Amino acid sequence: MQYPLVILALFFSLGVLLGNLIKLTFPWLYFFTCSFLAAYFLPPIKKIQVVLFCSLIMLCGAVMMRNASSLAANHISRFTYYKSENVVTLQGRIESPPEIKNSRTIFVLRAQEVGFKKEKIYCCGKILIRASAPLEVNYGDNVILRGRLCRLFSFGKNWDSYNKFLNRQGIYCQLFILPKSKIEKLRQNTVFSLKKISLELKTGLEKIIFRHCSQLSAAIVDAMVLGEKNYVPDRVYNTMIKTGTVHILVVSGFNVGIVGFLLFLLLKLGKVPRKPRILLTCVLLILYCFITGASNPVVRATIMGIIFLLSYLAERDADIYSSCAIAAIVILAINPSQLFDIGFQLSFLSVISIVYISPKLKSLFRLESVRARLFRFLLEGFIVSLSAWAGTAGLIWYYFRIFSPVAIIANILVVPLAALITLCGLSIICASVISPLLARIFVPATEIFVSLLLRVNLFFANQF
């Protein structure tokens, strides 16, 4: 078997899919899993053992999926049968940095207690909080809120997709805070964790970027380096969706790869020995993952990057198929519902498409015979872009009804510009630690690259 880890990941994924489709209760799945595990050690025939082992892996995936989708008896979503007109009192801890946009506040609360008139019930689970006004609350605050508790709304396909996304995060209901309702803070910033430290560090880094760059350039750099898209104007975001280049505004494998390479290079220049250099790069990548908010794309990219680096630590040749398989198993073991996430599907499909299709296209175009370096570089970029587009075009059409061949050419120009902007943004941050005057050296280049990026996107959007 050439790629055993790939086969393992496929059967595990199939089990997750079956666990989502077949609504067997957890005890039955657990019984079947134990039965297959016992049978695995009985037959002496290897072929039967292979079949049983694959079935066992598939059942493990199904068990994890059913376990992940099972809610506790006192989960906050189980109390939404009360009429939404009734005002409830909810106590809990803020689990995400509050987002304020268009004078509205949205954040996630981990519920601890819910009150209905004179009755108070201990509860658990995450709930989406919506307020029609800006709120002065922070991550980690323990608060008491008053509002209407109800299920997630569903007004069409877009809402259904968003609700499914929230379900994958463990959110099944929402609370609308009453207008002019006072929020009672029990304890402020009581959480001392890596996430809290990372969020504070992210805020400090954002201030550095906005202090040195213009508003629009800072918004683009902030999105590429720190994963904060709230400051990117809607017209810019929509233009990038049209050209198929919006992925550069999301911190993902592309950005994590640049950061990982830069960290590894700096540690090498600092003459850090090889093994400590690899381990320290992994630790810093984890910190970067938390700084950018530990979103699903960043977590996926970080896991894949760490697995790739550890393969060198084990002194083995890095195999991208096996690395992807290990990353998929780890991600699905943590949260099996990620299998149904569009980002999960697109990220793995694009990587596999590039690795599988690119060599064939290079052979077809006879890339090794091209002597002109500039033309060879452009042709190689075209091949990589075409491979990624060919592998993901069907999935993008299925989910978004977007078919954009112009994305092939646009990405050839946009991706190098995005890499330069990311490097400039990181340079501004690193230089600011030494001296604010030193950071200004990189500002003109940043402004030029951002301007070129926007012009290129606008040009291709007009051709759409």
Q: Decide if pLDDT at 446 tops 80.
A: yes
> Which is more confident, 5 or 405?
5
Domain range for residue 155? 76-187
Tens of pLDDT, residues 403-419: 777 777 777 778 788 88
Q: How confident is the model at residue 108 (pLDDT cuts 50, 70, 90)?
A: very high
Token pair recorded at residue 351? 């990587």
Tens of pLDDT, residues 41-97: 665 555 677 777 777 888 888 888 888 778 888 888 888 865 455 688 899 998 888
Nearest to 297 by CA among 248, 262, 230: 248
pTM of the model: 0.75
Give the mean model confidence (pLDDT) for residues 325-349: 84
CATH number at 154 reads: 2.40.50.140
Mean pLDDT lowest among 104-113, 210-219, 322-331: 322-331
Give the pLDDT confidence score for residue 305 in this predicted structure.
80
Give the pLDDT confidence score for residue 64 in this predicted structure.
84
Give the mean model confidence (pLDDT) for residues 7-12: 89
In a domain, 221, yes or no: yes
Same domain? For 280 and 424 the reply is: yes
Same domain? For 216 and 240 the reply is: yes
Token pair recorded at residue 88? 């409830």
Token pair recorded at residue 420? 């330069």
Token pair recorded at residue 37? 């595990």
Same domain? For 47 and 167 the reply is: no
DSSP letters, 240-292, are: HHHHT-GGGGS-SHHHHHHHHHHHHHHHHHTT--HHHHHHHHHHHHHHHHHHT
Give the mean model confidence (pLDDT) for residues 297-319: 74
Q: Decide if pLDDT at 109 tops 90.
A: yes
Tens of pLDDT, residues 118-167: 788 899 999 999 988 888 888 888 889 988 888 887 655 555 677 888 88
Q: Decide if pLDDT at 2 tops 70.
A: no
Q: Decide if pLDDT at 333 tops 80.
A: yes
Give the pLDDT confidence score for residue 436 in this predicted structure.
80
In a domain, 388, yes or no: no
Number of folded domains that form the chain? 3
Q: Decide if pLDDT at 357 tops 60.
A: yes
Same domain? For 335 and 221 the reply is: yes
Specify the amino acid at residue 366. R
Q: Distance between CA atoms of 230 and 206, rounded to whole angstroms?
A: 12
Same domain? For 301 and 216 the reply is: yes
Q: Decide if pLDDT at 365 tops 80.
A: no
Beta-strand pair 119-122/99-101 = unpaired
For the chain, helix (H) and strand (E) counts, in that order, are: 16, 8
Maximum CA pair distance of the chain? 81
Helix axis angle for 215-226 and 406-434, nearest 10°, is 90
Specify the amino acid at residue 79. F
